[in-house]
């Protein structure tokens, strides 16, 4: 088992339960020194895709899962990591119990572009389902987005 930090649609415990049924939620926390952004607009089906980039003045809410090897392989497929769209990187998550080292996905594309309104809504709903603070969820809902698909 290995610890994975979900920051996008995988924040939703129901979605992760479907994608990784053998991988329990361990905790939630913050990626300090990172910010949520979007990129790879040319790869998304209706806008830019979520990713994180280093930023010393920001933080990203995450859910940490203990992922089995089988589930990790499944998740790589869901995230197109097996095709090179996302790459894995190690990060530190600050939790109430202290810092832990985990892996997460980072988009292998340039930052920029807008997500679709529907995708941004799914991200905000996922954060809400993971019990992210209300101000974090509200900030997601206020982000600029495409009002229609491509």
Catalytic residue among 18, 41, 42, 79: 79
79 is catalytic: yes
The dihedrals phi and psi of 113, each to the nearest 5 degrees, come to 95, 165
**Please, are residues 2 and 91 in contact by the beta-carbon 8 Å criterion?**
no
- How far apart CA 52 and CA 75 sit, in angstroms, is 18
The structure tokens listed for 36 are 């949520």
State the catalytic residues: 79
């Amino acid at each position: 088992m290995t610890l994975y930090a979900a920051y996008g649609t995988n924040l939703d415990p129901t979605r992760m339960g479907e994608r990784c049924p053998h991988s329990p939620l361990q905790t939630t926390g913050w990626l300090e020194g990172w910010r949520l952004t979007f990129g790879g607009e040319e790869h998304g089906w209706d806008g830019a895709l979520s990713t994180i980039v280093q930023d010393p003045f920001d933080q990203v809410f995450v859910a940490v899962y203990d992922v089995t090897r089988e589930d990790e392989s499944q998740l790589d497929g869901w995230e197109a990591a097996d095709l090179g769209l996302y790459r894995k990187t190690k990060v530190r998550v600050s939790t109430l119990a202290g810092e832990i080292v985990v892996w997460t996905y980072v988009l292998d594309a340039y930052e920029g572009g807008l997500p679709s309104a529907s995708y941004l809504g799914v991200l905000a709903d996922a954060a809400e389902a993971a019990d992210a603070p209300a101000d974090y969820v509200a900030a997601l809902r206020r982000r600029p987005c495409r009002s229609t698909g491509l």
